Structure 1
Amino acid sequence: MDPKLIRNIPDSSTISKDEQYVQTIDNKRILLPRPLSLSLLRNDRSALTTNEWTLLSNFLHAFDQQNAFTRIQYSLAELSSLPPKLRLKLSEVTNVLRELFSNVGPIIERSPDFHSLPVDTRQLLINHNLFVTGAVNAFFLCREVDIFHNMTAFNASNQLYGSELIAECRRNIAQYDSNGSLIKIFIFILAFSSSCSIVKYDNQVNITIMSSSINLVRIQNVYATMLWKYLVYLYGFKEAVPRFTRLVKNVLDLIRILTWITPNETRDLVVDSIVTETGRALVIAD
């Protein structure tokens, strides 16, 4: 046999345990990359505790488990398959609206902290926070499925809310953080905030102080602290500040946009029914 065809295999004792090499015919060594650990906490230098990492993971899992993107895309496909005259009917658009908004209910329901609150506190949280939290969730989902590039959805939105309002909504959505995980976590923070609703004075309604308010403050602090630590872990303090500020500003801008919506009895009845159904399911769930 030609000696040139015989591979020269080095003694295994000369190979480092930390590095693996492949010997080529030209006696050149190729360094193979070492596989990285799959652990989220590998070389973790963040300030997050193990419990906070677990909470963060549970938030993202609860959101993703709803499979909202697929359901919305399916609803859009069904809407687009209808004859042109039927595509703009409110009864047909309702399915898309319901998928955009009602997804937030099961997400909140997955939180053990929600079930730790008394029923009256849950009811107040829903009354104060569900509409705006659902709207933030809907805006985020609109961005993720690129809904306004679907001409059927775009035309239906313009008919329901007006072209100027939809243009403002699109500008607001464009300002959302590119890291969708941050928005998912922030939705939980909004859901458990003291109040993120549009303030409308009504002298017929008594101002009620929430029971177990200390527990609610504790939940808010835990969630907000976890998000802040995660931001610092990902981007450092300097970049974390504007990103956190932008998350808050997005919600304030959205509330401002919602105040511009002109009343429409038929549309408002549909939206109110979706909010009511979602809220009722949350209150009675246990």
Structure 2
Amino acid sequence: MHISNIRKNDFIFKFSNPTLNLLDSNQSTLSIDKWNFLSNLVRCFDENSGYKFVADFIEEQSALPLKLRFKYSSVNPFFTSMMSKVQLVFEKNRDFLLLSQHDRTVLLKNTVEYTATIGGMFILRQSRLLDDFSFSQSAEMIFQPSGMIFIKRVIDQFDSDDTFIKLILTILAFATINYTVYRKNIQINLTNMKVILPIQDMYTELTWQYLVDKYGHLQAVKRFSNLLKCLFSVTKAIVEVHQVQKFTDIINSIIEQTEETNF
């Protein structure tokens, strides 16, 4: 399958309009302040996660002759840029910016494998790039076929509610428990855990209230349960692709770019 029929403007319109419908706020049990906070959070994601970058990439590739589209030489730098842009979402988060430089650095290094990886897979689902045979082949050359099997499995497990995924990604950006950190000499001590824990609680509570408000208690429980299964699959995927030097290079590149730009 080829995705050359995707138009740039259609792509940007589709992925810059979240599933969150603010018109429903009149019937919501969430307060106006929480609805506004949720709206701003979703808007931050949509404005900074690189939708336009992906749309431009698809448009550029679609303009090439069929045999030249989505070659390794193009897809390889695409992944680094795409995952770096997704990471910007969390670095521009207002609560993240209120933390000390030390704690921002610690959180970045300890969560980037999850936030950039899950965020990148989310963008791949949105763009349907993996439906293109040529792109998928090039991706396998980067992450190996075994790694792509895990990546596609995670994408298939993603919740259908985009707003829910964006909220979960924000929670993960403030996570203080690490499962798949392989880098050496990483600082793990946060200077002010008392500030970070309430942020975790706030986003978790907001996510739960959003789900209950939109789907009811039973469906909220089911979605959180499915989320846990998905996160286990994410961990397996990260462990698998960590055997590939390219993935390590991408993660290190994101950290270096962030430290040079923001810290």
The normalised TM-score by structure 2 is 0.81
2:202 matched residue in structure 1:
222
Over 3 Å counting, the alpha-carbon distance change for 1:147 and 1:61 in structure 2 is same
1:255 matched residue in structure 2:
235
Q: Which amino acid aligns with 1:275?
A: I
What is the rounded CA distance, in whole Å, between the counterparts of 1:95 and 1:82 in structure 2? 20
Over 3 Å counting, the alpha-carbon distance change for 1:42 and 1:123 in structure 2 is same
Deviations 1:37-58 (A, max 9, x none): x7543133x2x23332222111
Structure 1 unpaired stretches of 5+: 1-37
Mapping 1:138-217, distance limit 5 Å: 138-200=120-182, 205=185, 208-217=188-197
Any conservation in 2 of the 1:131–1:275 contact (CA below 8 Å)? no
Corresponding residue SS for 1:42: helix
What is the rounded CA distance, in whole Å, between the counterparts of 2:137 and 2:69 in structure 1? 12
What is the rounded CA distance, in whole Å, between the counterparts of 1:102 and 1:95 in structure 2? 11
What is the rounded CA distance, in whole Å, between the counterparts of 1:237 and 1:225 in structure 2? 13
Q: Which amino acid aligns with 2:215?
A: Y
State how many pairs are aligned. Answer: 241
4+ residue segments displaced more than 3 Å: 82-90, 199-202, 205-208, 262-265
Shift of residue 74 of structure 1?
2.1
Q: Which entry has the higher C-alpha Rg, 1 or 2?
A: 1
Any conservation in 2 of the 1:79–1:93 contact (CA below 8 Å)? no
Deviations 1:13-54 (A, max 9, x none): xxxxxxxxxxxxxxxxxxxxxxxxx7543133x2x2333222
Moved more, 205-214 or 59-68: 205-214
User: Is residue 43 of structure 1 aligned with residue 34 of structure 2?
Assistant: no
Q: Which amino acid aligns with 1:238?
A: L
What is the rounded CA distance, in whole Å, between the counterparts of 1:64 and 1:73 in structure 2? 13
Structure with a larger share of its residues in helix: 2
Corresponding residue SS for 1:162: helix
User: Is residue 88 of structure 1 aligned with residue 67 of structure 2?
Assistant: no
Structure 2 unpaired stretches of 5+: 1-21
Any conservation in 2 of the 1:72–1:100 contact (CA below 8 Å)? yes
Any conservation in 1 of the 2:103–2:190 contact (CA below 8 Å)? yes
Mapping 1:110-121, distance limit 5 Å: 110-121=92-103
Corresponding residue SS for 2:216: helix
Over 3 Å counting, the alpha-carbon distance change for 1:281 and 1:231 in structure 2 is farther
Structure 2 counterpart of 1:61, from 31, 38, 43 = 43
What is the rounded CA distance, in whole Å, between the counterparts of 1:59 and 1:282 in structure 2? 22
Deviations 1:127-164 (A, max 9, x none): 10012111010111111111111222111011112223
Structure 2 counterpart of 1:237, from 217, 220, 225 = 217
Any conservation in 2 of the 1:79–1:152 contact (CA below 8 Å)? no
What is the rounded CA distance, in whole Å, between the counterparts of 1:82 and 1:197 in structure 2? 43
Over 3 Å counting, the alpha-carbon distance change for 1:159 and 1:134 in structure 2 is same
The normalised TM-score by structure 1 is 0.75
Q: Percent identity?
A: 21
What is the rounded CA distance, in whole Å, between the counterparts of 1:201 and 1:60 in structure 2? 31
